[in-house]
Amino acid sequence: MSDLVSLSATALRAAVLQGEVSVREIVEAHLSRIAALDPRLHAYLGVDEAGARQRADALDAARRRREPAGPLFGVPVALKDNLCVRGWETTCGSRILEGFRPPYDATAVARLREAGAVFLGRTNLDEFAMGSSTENSAFGPTRNPWDLSRAPGGSSGGSAAAVAARLAAIALGSDTGGSIRQPAALCGVVGVKPTYGRVSRYGLVAFGSSLDQIGPLARTVEDAAVALSVLAGSDPHDSTSVADPVPDYAEALARGVEGLRFGLAREYLPPDLDPEVRGALERCVARLRAEGASVEEISLPHTPHAIPTYYLVATSEASSNLARYDGVKYGPREGGDRDLRTMYAATRGRGFGPEVKRRIFLGTFALSSGYVEAYYGRALRVRSLLRRDFDEAFRGVDLVLGPTSPFPAFRLGEKVDDPFQMYLCDVFTVTANLVGLPAVSVPAGFTSDRHAAPGLPIGLQVIGPPLAEAGCLRAAAAIERTCGVRGRAPALAPAG
């Protein structure tokens, strides 16, 4: 078969089961493309060529023995480098974890392995998943495959870029405030943030423990749905995981949207919203109505407080979670053995980058004696108000629709020196994490010739009530089908 890298995950699995192609051929096609293109993209921090080939040969042997094939049999997958994989270096994009090799697999990784996936390598990210552009990685930025001068979004920018550039069929990311959905939108792929607890966090290096979720990035809604069915489910290693049965998410995709009620939050349509994003949303609304859905304006009145609330809750949890990285158990140690305080300061000073330090400082201050109630305590109360907004909205609508990002992909370096502007990249995504709701970003168009940078992807977001991933994916499939952007790929030439 030709052009294996362009096939969807479900098509690759079907081709293997029908005897049209071997898993080894699929893996070799992806490894060749990574070698040709990733020097320009830097989507990967490490590629396990030997391990991928060995796994492919083992799966081909299993196929010859007619053993049962899992739902991702032979599918090449990339893993964000904050997920533990036994024996792989796991750095979280940080110098402080250089050389750390976990002795176990994250539950999400183990479930993909059981489903027949082949792991290609680990993808780049903003350090400890703190960022919206993948420029905060200690190992250099990832570039957007649609325009190499632009950012892929973050923090799962490496995963999104790898899927968009056909360097993997599916990738895993983590979403603490939009880190799956925002890069999915900027790179033109599908990104799923599940309900909090729907996917086990065991083996995910923690950033904000009440916010983090693992989810898939894929080129089609169907692939994302299949991957989510594999990932979801309770886990005895994660006490926050949800015990509810896992549905067949792919089964819901063909139902269409007739009868669904969408809410369009007026707070997600500010005057300064990029006109191209607004236009894509308006066209999507018209198509959903033509398919039999209703779309009505709603209000989520506490939305303006979401960003400050998120950056108090997330940084407070980060300050606590990252206290363990001190040069004693993980990564390289700096400062010699003169005294403990000097060693801590030298190790953390060299090991953490500027954005991680900024968030640790902010979180430590918010939790400090005399200030904890004024900042962290108040943020938790506003968090409850945000949850109440959505509870009220879902009494009248089934799903909330809006932009994923307020603008298409921005230039590398454009926002990195202005933390406030960078934080506003997540203005439409952080609330789903604060409230624990499922959300899906789906490609819905491209910037036109009237835009300063034509041809950049635009993503729209569907948010649902708790455990309504099936409804979100059902709506995303309708958007994918009616917007006509599926199958478009960035034009990339191999490195010279």
Active-site positions?
Answer: 80, 155, 179
Q: Which residues contact 420 (CB under 8 A, 6 or more apart)?
A: none
Q: Is 252 helix (H, G, I), strand (E, B) or coil?
A: helix
Of the candidates 296, 273, 274, the one whose C-alpha atom is nearest the C-alpha of residue 285 is 296
Q: Which amino acid is at 371?
A: Y
Question: CA 277, CA 273: separation in Å to the nearest integer?
Answer: 7
C-beta neighbour count of 262 within 10 angstroms: 22
- CA 261/CA 320 separation, integer angstroms: 41
Identify whether the C-beta of residue 305 lies closer than 8 Å to the C-beta of residue 386.
Answer: yes
Q: Which letter, b or e, does each residue of 438-470 get, where b requires 16 or more Cβ atoms within 10 Å of its Cβ?
A: bbbbbbbbbbeeebeeebbbbbbbbbbbbbbbb
CA–CA separation, 36 and 79 (whole Å): 20
**Length of the chain counted residue by residue:** 496
H helices of 65-93, where?
A: none
Residue 263's H or E segment, with its range, is strand 261-265
Please say whether the beta carbons of 158 and 125 come within 8 A.
yes
Buried b (16+ CB within 10 A) or exposed e, 114-148: ebbbbbbbbbbbbbbbbbbbbbbbbbebbbbbbbe
Closest by CA to 196, choosing from 253, 157, 238, 154, is 238
Give the DSSP per-residue string, 377-399: IHHHHHHHHHHHHHHHHTTT-SE
> 190: which strand partners?
218
